[in-house]
Chain A
Amino acid sequence: MRKCLLLLLSTFLVLSNAYAQDRAVTGIVKDSSDNSPLPGVNVLIKGTNIGSVTDFDGKYILQLSEGQNTLVFSFVGYQSQEVVVNSQSKIDINLQVDAEQLEEVVVTALGIEREERSLGYAVQGVKAEDMGNGAATGNMMNSLSGKVAGVQITPSNGAGSASKVIIRGNAMLGSNNQPLYVIDGVPISNNILADGSDGDESDISTGDGLSSLNPDDIAEMSVLKGGSATALYGSRAINGVILITTKSGKKGSSGVDFSQGFSMDFIGITPNEQSVYGNGSDGRLASDRDQLGMWGPKIEGQLNTAYYDGKERALTHYNNYDDFFRTGLTSNTSVSAYGSTEKGSIRFSYSNMDNRGMVQNSTYKRNTFSIKGDVKLSEKIKVDARLNYTNQKANNRLVMGSSVNSYMSMLIGMPSTISHHWLKDYKDDLGRPIGYTNNDQNPYWYIHERKNEDELNRVVGMTSVTYNVTEDLKILARTGIDYGAMRLNVLDPLYSPWQPQGRAFERTSLEMESNSDFLISYNKKVGKFDVNVNAGGAYLHQIRNFTDVGSSKFSSSDFQNPGAGSDVFQDFSTYEMMMTSLYATASVGYNGYLYLDASVRNDWASTLPINNNSFLYPSISGTWVFSDMDWSVPEWLSFGKLRASWAQVGSHTDPYSLYLQYDIDNWDHNGLNFGNIKGNDIPNANLKPAIQTSYEFGMDLRLFNDKLGIDVARYSSSSVNQIIPVSISDVSGYDRAIINAGEIVNRGWEFAMDFKAIDKGNFKWTTALNAAYNYNEVVSLTEGVDFYEIASAGGISIQANPGQAYGALVAKKALRTPEGGFVVDGEGRIMQEDEPSIIGNGVQPWMAGWRNTFNYKNLSLSILIDGKFGGDIYSSTNASMYISGKHENTVAGREEFYNGGAWNPGNLYSAVEGDNGDVTYEKFEGNVDPQQYWGRYGGIAEFNLYDASFIKLREVSVSYMFPKQWMQKTPIKNLSLTASAFNVGYLWKSTPNVDPEASFSSRNVSGVESATLALPRTLNFKLNANF
């Protein structure tokens, strides 16, 4: 893509003259990286303005006069090269890519190309080759983990699942702080149909807007972080923008790219259970299947029949976690073909991803087709177009969270004296489940009998027409559409645990988002001033139609489908909104070192009251490249830039938020029909748009001849008048009231550094460090509103409270004496306070990533270590392990207590209430039953709260580029092999038994772990070949 742009620029700039010449020199100019011809290269005779430009095959011809003996080959994006001609009549050369120059032109909002040096805000890009292989599970965003300062990425588990992406902290109180994804200038939908949650009905993750796209189609991703960077995208960009540029046909060449990846997912962190005591209660073996705890006798291999099936076996401890999950296997095949003529270029790609999940019968298959091209209809009119089609089918994706359908939840709840292998005999002759609980819970029933299938057909397309009115003025018209049709089918067949009568339902989501915009751009250099003016407008239309139909209570095992049950349920809903926008931006540069940008945008949103649906917001930024002024700077300073920006961004809300709605059901109740208020949110017909104001200062330094680069940014944002559904008392009749409320501030630092530590001969060592700190504070909500509940999970309320950082974890604490002792009941069990209070915060304010890359000849080694710091996590897994007696700490006290001795863990006090209500405390000296003590202990949230900080070896990657001479006699131009490991392991963490990074949801559920399957360790091999 860059080459195309640079070629265009060069073509306009080159002068060609015809003078009398004495001798001719010809040759071909090629790209040294892939040996492809370079068209548009300036070939100048040194000391003159006489020259030529290479043609589409990279060929040039030039006449030299007497005394002219040196040619200068230059091309934007490449290092210039001088060649002495002497007697040569044919000079072929290879130009080296100039990485610094390539960085200078970046794509900003609305696809406007800008020199990076002129930007007054932070834009951080990652090229495809630097993204690594975090996308082995299908979601490209996972590849950015630890690579971009200020961007926190939390993957979900499983191929094709969604990822939670937070840029510069949580700015919005609502349930979503995800950025806007823009592909080739057109936004795409980032809606998630099904996602994990806490509770019995926790679901699978069906993926997000990016997870169904082919990572190999992506050439570059840029992260726009601040308000100035994103202001032109309007309200949807309030959480930042991920700009994605897809690969195009290469100008002047044709070829085929092929890659084959193969990855293996290994089970991550699993709980360490005590293996001293067996299943049962009160030190004795369980006498029935409803006793699932591990409070039985010592495990000594004794024969017993205390199993769900009554068979006699020796009492043994089994590690079911590591054994139950298998190695997940994923094959990624991608092939693309590209070609070009002088009139245009085209690229076609196909990819196939075939995943075998870490549990039997869990599969994910994705096929993508993509075609992208551009054509010059005339010298002034150019058309670009792209079309992506995705078909993905998933079967039995892993259910997240603590659902009864979650394998991890089942394994945590199952006595570890039961081997999961026994449960493979999971049903009887009549087809009924055989399981380890009274309702015959059995993971193999779900593996083999439960159906949970989803299929997505998605088309993402765009086209744009650019009309170059003059050299300075062009008009762009662009439209794009993202249409997705997803179908989810679930069948809990007859006899299923928890759904014994059977249940089936089908959910469909038909989703369409269209974006159209136009842009008039004017660029003019007037003396020392560079003027860039853009004005345009945009139109957004989103519509989602959702149906959920099904039934339960099947009458026959032969008819088990959404229409076969006698208890029918159905739900239909629509989400439709439109927004139109007008905007303008202007940039003035002075002499290449001073730049001033300003923009203004006005949106009209259909979701706001008709008389208050217009909102305008401006931005301004300035840049000073102090190293390039007409003054002398120290030799060690290669480049220096200061930047500053200020911006506002407005936002609206969801549709149908203005007026009370009623619903009536269709069931006949002895001649009556029931109707009621629909929903539990109080509407608000007086809503105003929300506004986020932000500023940013930054400095970009390159030192010691570009060996060291440093970028520092300081930012602050304040979001006010947010349209949020605040939690209100259920007694009001509603869950939430939609109001304009609140102010959230985010202030932070971002730091990025790259250092070419060694560059000697064939050996290079580059180290890059990025770090970010984000201070977040919920300044206010609204008068009388004390908190906003972001989510609740695992019995913990995740809240935004005034004066606190977003994401406070709220639960009831243990009841303590004034001196800090635990107040206990008559049995020595710790009591809890009446009311909840803040016990921690689930958002990590610090993050850092450190990447080291070593190159030796054709071999490259890259190591990425990253970490997050400062947040807390509540672990329901640990809580459950305490309660069930699986936790290693619960061994304490059993020996003494079961052998008739006394056990008292200490620091326990009894409360003695006086007649007047006064309370005094006496040391509790009685014996405490460990089963009772630890059971209560596990139920108190603060005892299962851990520091979520970690340092992780994120990625290790080794690449080898085969020498070109090996392929000289083959059609292969380049061949490389990469082996990488992702999520290799934690170097340090504080959370026992669980993965602090794993998430069961991509919503704003930070700080709660709920039977969450740890992120797998992924080993990936990838072969790339260019023909």
Chain B
Amino acid sequence: MKLRNILLAATVAASSLMGCTHRFEEINDNPWTSNDIDVKHVMAFTQAKMYASGHEAWRSSIIMGGAYAQNTACLYSTGMGFTTNDGYTEPTFSLLFKDIIKNIEDSKVRLEQEEGVDHYIAQFDIIKVVNMLRATELYGDIPYSTAGKGFTEGIYYPVYESQEEVLEMMVIDLLNARTAIKASSAEQFTSHDAYDASTDKKDQYTKLANSLLIKIGMLMSEANPARGAEIFKMGYNDDGGYISSWADASYVRHVEAGGPWGQHVNGIGIAVEGQVGGFSHAFLSEAALKYMQSHHDPRIFRVVAHCDYVEGVSKAVDNPSLYHNFDPFAQAGEEGEFKKVHFRGVRFGDNGDGNRGLFYRKDTDATQQAAFWRDQNAGERSAYTFQNEGQFITLAGMNPATFNRTMPSIIVGADEIAFLIAEASTIPAYGINDDGAFRRGVELAISKYDALGFGGGDYENNFSNLYKEQTNPDYNQNENKTQYVNDAVARYNAAADKRDIVVTEHWLSQIGNGYTSFTLVNRTGGPSFLNKVVPVEERDYDLPSFDKDPIENTDATLDGTFEVVLHRGGVTDYTRPSRFPYPNKELNANGENVSAAMQRQRGSISEATHFIAVPQWYSKK
């Protein structure tokens, strides 16, 4: 072969190789994705995503939020015990910033290149405030102005802004958004919108913006009530109105699709149903339950139930025929006392013997704990079957008939706004006096389950009837609802500390929403019967001591008490946490900015106080 031929062959071979590059651009285009999208799909995503993660909701709302706020109780000791677990407190941070805010910012940039879509951008701004408000309520200082702009503006390490600055920026965004929405026509709004309401979109978003201003104004009630009052009034006095009825309220409807880790089911609900990795231990706290029982709260038939746990699903025990002498209002005994009652809550503590111990048995040197679900403790002990005595030793759960994967998520509740107005009316700095707000709040709180299509209506009917049949023939659920409102208003009118009554009812109304419950308690300290620091005398618990099992033996004798540990203090030395910690990844990746934020929020408080015990700007100090 001649050299010429060889060179020719080599040239052909090399040319062939180079020819292979013509598909380079084509194959570097992912066939499963697109480089373009209509922002309407993104808007719906950013609206629903915050409420649709079972993974996140189980951790933040049920484990952490509920226990921190104490209207519910989850038996994961991280929440109950004031300890930290990045895996529990990080998901909300990740959900809000990595899943939602970047999509909002990206969509806004895309919309800014179009004409006549100011209202659309305004909607995104309001959605951003909805999401970021939760972020700052849980974590304190956050980046607001630069968040979510990693791609759009190349900001990889956003600076943290103080909570006060964040709230002020939210106010500006809301006011601008409200102006843009008011200037638009109702026909301009897309129907591809996951925020539902019974009003038109223009009215809906105007009222949502004003209601958020009211929320922000009240969030400043402890830190800067004067400024809080100004912001409050920006929403309260605006001619566009605020959310005052359930018809006005924005909420997200959920569907069955997509599974527990998707973006369509209700995250809190699917976690309550135990479908995010197992039974979620979503119970009522003893504090909330006893308050409801002592005031004959009619919602007890809607929000409380015993749990059944069959085939991996937590369902309400909804068969009335299993019960005898059903009395949901009978309260569990105090220390040293064992009572057979149907609904018993979880005491505030991180030790099993303490928070759900029923009694101590001398014969076995063991404590008996309440059952999580129907027949859990039955086994070979017939007395412990639910149909027998088991119904008296099973913990009261968040009712899965009501709190489930398709329950709606309320963006801002009509009851919440009413309670905030009622509370503002008790704070002189706010300068308003809305006498009817408290009544409206209680009425709206009671009516919301039917108004927004929560489940559990049948359960409420069946069990209120059961109570009537087995225990109280005079009972009438509808009358009791009216009575409860009247009683609450009477308590309010008679109270020296009216704000405490408002906060207490507000607190009860948020059962099932750990985020808003936590924020309320963190801001106000919660109902006066909650303690900021677990008192020394409440760190142990005296169980009644019997010579033998009092459930199986009617002749068992009470012969004193047996002290068990109730609370161990966690990392905060018994102080109720005021915040979620920043995620470990953020401490590493954005260390300098996070460190500055932590130092700023610590003020003069040293590292000897755990950061989660450091009050937020809006916290009650």
* Chain A residues with a Cβ under 8 A of chain B: 200, 281-282, 284-285, 287-288, 290-291, 304-306, 310, 438-439, 467, 469, 473, 475, 477, 494-495, 497-502, 518, 520, 535-539, 551-553, 566-569, 572-574, 576-578, 580-582, 604-607, 610, 613, 655-656, 658-665, 667-670, 672-678, 680, 682-683, 726-735, 737, 784-787, 789, 792, 795, 797, 799, 810, 815, 823, 825-827, 831-836, 910-911, 913, 915-917, 919, 932
| Pick from B38, B149, B193, B278: contact of A732, CB under 8 Å | B149
| Pick from A282, A733, A826, A827: contact of B102, CB under 8 Å | A733
Most buried by B among A607, A613, A735, A825: A825
How many residue pairs bridge A and B at CB < 8 Å? 343
Question: With A568-B259, A675-B45, A734-B150 in contact, is A501–B102 under 8 Å at CB?
Answer: no
Given contacts A285-B366, A499-B277, A831-B571, 17 further A-B contacts (CB under 8 A): A494-B311, A501-B313, A537-B17, A566-B256, A655-B27, A662-B36, A669-B48, A669-B264, A674-B48, A674-B264, A727-B588, A729-B593, A730-B98, A730-B583, A731-B142, A737-B156, A823-B607
Most buried by B among A287, A538, A573, A663: A287
Q: Is B447 an interface residue (CB 8 A)?
A: no
**A799, closest chain B residue (CB):** B588
- Least Cβ–Cβ distance between B585 and chain A, in angstroms: 6
Q: Is B478 an interface residue (CB 8 A)?
A: no
Most buried by B among A467, A656, A677: A677
- Which A residues lie within 8 Å of B6 (CB)? 469, 473, 475, 520
A578:B27 contact, CB within 8 angstroms: yes
- Least Cβ–Cβ distance between B71 and chain A, in angstroms: 23
- Which A residues lie within 8 Å of B366 (CB)? 285, 287, 305-306
| Pick from B150, B279, B584, B610: contact of A795, CB under 8 Å | B584
| In the bound complex, CA of A826 to CA of B533 (Å) | 13
Q: Is B454 an interface residue (CB 8 A)?
A: no
A499:B312 contact, CB within 8 angstroms: yes
| In the bound complex, CA of A551 to CA of B588 (Å) | 36
Q: Is B425 an interface residue (CB 8 A)?
A: no
| In the bound complex, CA of A675 to CA of B99 (Å) | 11
| Pick from B13, B34, B357, B367: contact of A518, CB under 8 Å | B13
- Least Cβ–Cβ distance between A7 and chain B, in angstroms: 25
Q: Of residues 1 to 51 in B, which have CB atoms within 8 Å of A's CB atoms?
A: 1, 6, 9-10, 13-14, 17-18, 20-21, 23-25, 27-38, 41-42, 44-46, 48-49
- Which B residues lie within 8 Å of A469 (CB)? 1, 6
- Which A residues lie within 8 Å of B604 (CB)? 913, 915-917
- By size class, the interface of chain B is 35 or more
| Pick from B46, B151, B256, B259: contact of A660, CB under 8 Å | B151
- Which A residues lie within 8 Å of B41 (CB)? 664, 672-676
| Pick from B37, B94, B253, B583: contact of A664, CB under 8 Å | B37
Q: Of residues 216 to 268 in B, which have CB atoms within 8 Å of A's CB atoms?
A: 253, 255-264
B257:A669 contact, CB within 8 angstroms: yes
Question: With A281-B351, A659-B35, A834-B607 in contact, is A667–B262 under 8 Å at CB?
Answer: yes
**A836, closest chain B residue (CB):** B587
**A677, closest chain B residue (CB):** B103
| In the bound complex, CA of A310 to CA of B367 (Å) | 13
Q: Would you mind naming 17 contact pairs between A and B with Cβ atoms under 8 Å apart?
A: A306-B366, A438-B372, A494-B311, A536-B13, A537-B13, A539-B17, A574-B31, A658-B28, A676-B42, A729-B158, A733-B148, A831-B608, A916-B604, A917-B603, A917-B605, A919-B606, A932-B568
A730:B608 contact, CB within 8 angstroms: no
| 5 residue pairs, one from A and one from B, having the closest CB atoms | A500-B312, A733-B102, A732-B150, A917-B604, A675-B41
A913:B609 contact, CB within 8 angstroms: yes
B352:A731 contact, CB within 8 angstroms: no
**B193, closest chain A residue (CB):** A672
- Least Cβ–Cβ distance between A581 and chain B, in angstroms: 7
| In the bound complex, CA of A552 to CA of B37 (Å) | 30
| In the bound complex, CA of A103 to CA of B603 (Å) | 71
* Chain B residues with a Cβ under 8 A of chain A: 1, 6, 9-10, 13-14, 17-18, 20-21, 23-25, 27-38, 41-42, 44-46, 48-49, 75, 86, 93-94, 97-99, 101-103, 105-106, 142-143, 146-151, 155-158, 192-194, 253, 255-264, 274-275, 277-279, 309, 311-313, 351-353, 357, 364-369, 372, 379-380, 564-565, 568-569, 571, 573-574, 583-595, 598, 603-611
| In the bound complex, CA of A473 to CA of B7 (Å) | 12
Question: With A500-B312, A834-B607 in contact, is A729–B156 under 8 Å at CB?
Answer: yes
B42:A606 contact, CB within 8 angstroms: no
- Which A residues lie within 8 Å of B42 (CB)? 662, 675-677
- Which A residues lie within 8 Å of B585 (CB)? 727, 730, 789, 792, 797
| In the bound complex, CA of A498 to CA of B277 (Å) | 5
- Which A residues lie within 8 Å of B101 (CB)? 731, 733
Most buried by A among B24, B103, B277, B565: B24
B313:A569 contact, CB within 8 angstroms: no
- Which B residues lie within 8 Å of A673 (CB)? 41, 44
| In the bound complex, CA of A475 to CA of B6 (Å) | 9
A733:B571 contact, CB within 8 angstroms: no
A500:B27 contact, CB within 8 angstroms: no
**B539, closest chain A residue (CB):** A827
B588:A834 contact, CB within 8 angstroms: no
| In the bound complex, CA of A535 to CA of B17 (Å) | 14
- Which B residues lie within 8 Å of A662 (CB)? 33-37, 42
Question: With A737-B156, A786-B592, A919-B608 in contact, is A729–B586 under 8 Å at CB?
Answer: yes
- Which B residues lie within 8 Å of A605 (CB)? 24
| Pick from B17, B28, B274: contact of A580, CB under 8 Å | B17
| In the bound complex, CA of A656 to CA of B565 (Å) | 56
| Pick from A567, A665, A797: contact of B260, CB under 8 Å | A567
A676:B589 contact, CB within 8 angstroms: no
B17:A581 contact, CB within 8 angstroms: yes
Question: With A607-B28, A913-B605 in contact, is A735–B255 under 8 Å at CB?
Answer: no
| In the bound complex, CA of A659 to CA of B34 (Å) | 10
| In the bound complex, CA of A727 to CA of B320 (Å) | 55
- Least Cβ–Cβ distance between A514 and chain B, in angstroms: 11
A497:B278 contact, CB within 8 angstroms: yes
- Least Cβ–Cβ distance between B242 and chain A, in angstroms: 26
A675:B37 contact, CB within 8 angstroms: yes
| Pick from A200, A669, A726, A731: contact of B586, CB under 8 Å | A731
Question: With A578-B20, A730-B589, A784-B157 in contact, is A836–B583 under 8 Å at CB?
Answer: no
| In the bound complex, CA of A665 to CA of B32 (Å) | 11
- Which A residues lie within 8 Å of B312 (CB)? 494-495, 499-502, 553
| In the bound complex, CA of A840 to CA of B99 (Å) | 33
| In the bound complex, CA of A815 to CA of B23 (Å) | 58
A835:B27 contact, CB within 8 angstroms: no
- Least Cβ–Cβ distance between A490 and chain B, in angstroms: 16
| Pick from A498, A672, A680: contact of B194, CB under 8 Å | A672
- Which B residues lie within 8 Å of A797 (CB)? 584-585, 588
B33:A661 contact, CB within 8 angstroms: yes
**B76, closest chain A residue (CB):** A290
- Least Cβ–Cβ distance between A611 and chain B, in angstroms: 10
| In the bound complex, CA of A569 to CA of B261 (Å) | 9
B18:A580 contact, CB within 8 angstroms: yes
- Which B residues lie within 8 Å of A439 (CB)? 278-279
B365:A656 contact, CB within 8 angstroms: no
**B253, closest chain A residue (CB):** A670
B257:A786 contact, CB within 8 angstroms: no
B590:A731 contact, CB within 8 angstroms: yes
Question: With A439-B279, A475-B9 in contact, is A733–B105 under 8 Å at CB?
Answer: yes
**A729, closest chain B residue (CB):** B590
- Which B residues lie within 8 Å of A305 (CB)? 364, 366
- Which A residues lie within 8 Å of B28 (CB)? 576-577, 606-607, 655-656, 658
- Which A residues lie within 8 Å of B253 (CB)? 670
| In the bound complex, CA of A355 to CA of B286 (Å) | 55
Question: With A606-B24, A676-B99 in contact, is A731–B584 under 8 Å at CB?
Answer: no
Most buried by A among B309, B591, B608: B608
